Amino acid sequence: MDYDELADLYALQYENYRDDLEFYNGLAERHGGPVLELGAGQGRVAARLARRGIEVWALEPSAAMRQRGQAASAGLPLRWLAGDMRDFELPRRFPLVIAPFNALMHLYSAADQDAALARVSAHLEPGGVFAFDLYNPLLIRADGALRLEGRYGAAEVYYHQEHHPATQRLLTHYLVDESAEGGGLKRRHYTLDQRYYQRYEVARWLAGAGLSGDLYGGFNGESYQAASPWMVWKARRVS
């Protein structure tokens, strides 16, 4: 999915989202850099690690997301790379590869998922760790109602969701409203398209690529339960 159109909305919505930062920072401090982030967006996580002196390589296909990230990370040990997680080749391996904040939900088919995991595996150092978080699909409540997501400066953001359980797809339709000249309304529409995962599907997917995964229900080692907000995975190469 192309985030170019969503880049300004993303900046407004998530500049203050911090729930996962200490988790990824702790892993980076434990495993050392450089860290490879897949789907690095605007550098929300990457810049945080880089500000702590950890070298980060940030792979991101959207030019608009990268440009915002680059502008905010000048002078930091953060290397921005234009690329797709399904098909990239870098000249080194990494002790830690991360994909924070549902980035893997932009892999829409088994072939895309396998291609990305093969690339991760090829770029992990022996004993290296692949860590990522996904929202818990058991909590999806898509009733189609239009809800206010938030007010950001002059913009009001509404959303409604469309759930397709047979294909594990969740579409979130955003309406971004701002006042227009002459008392009118300027409304923009964006759709976020995500293909979510079930727990045993992830475990089998990792095992198929020679990785063994541990699942947590939160960023502080909580056990995974039906009501957990997240599926947080830490996977290690075992073969």
Ligand X SMILES: C[S@@+](CC[C@H](N)C(=O)[O-])C[C@H]1O[C@@H](n2cnc3c(N)ncnc32)[C@H](O)[C@@H]1O
The upper half-sphere exposure of residue 105, i.e. CA atoms within 13 Å in the direction of its Cβ, equals: 22
Q: What are the residue ranges of helices labelled H in the chain?
A: 7-14, 21-31, 44-51, 63-72, 110-123, 199-208
Applying CB under 6 A, among 9, 96, 97, 103 the residue interacting with ligand X is 103
Q: Is 69 in the site for ligand X (CB under 6 A)?
A: no
Applying CB under 6 A, among 84, 114, 125, 177 the residue interacting with ligand X is 84
Joined tokens for residue 190: 């964006």
Using DSSP's 3-state secondary structure scheme, residue 51 falls into helix
Q: Is 28 in the site for ligand X (CB under 6 A)?
A: no
Please, which of residues 139-158 interact with ligand X by CB under 6 A?
none
**Taking the complex as a whole, how short is the minimal distance between the CB of residue 94 and ligand X, in angstroms?**
15
Joined tokens for residue 204: 């089998």
Find, among 76, 125, 69, 131, the residue nearest to 99 by Cα: 131
Q: Is 3 in the site for ligand X (CB under 6 A)?
A: yes
Cα 165 from Cα 73, distance rounded (Å): 39
Q: Is 45 in the site for ligand X (CB under 6 A)?
A: yes
Applying CB under 6 A, among 49, 65, 124, 134 the residue interacting with ligand X is 65
Nearer Cβ to ligand X, position 106 or 163? 106
Cα 128 from Cα 125, distance rounded (Å): 5
Nearer Cβ to ligand X, position 47 or 235? 47
Binding site for ligand X (CB under 6 A): 1, 3, 14, 38-41, 44-45, 59-62, 65, 84-86, 100-103, 106
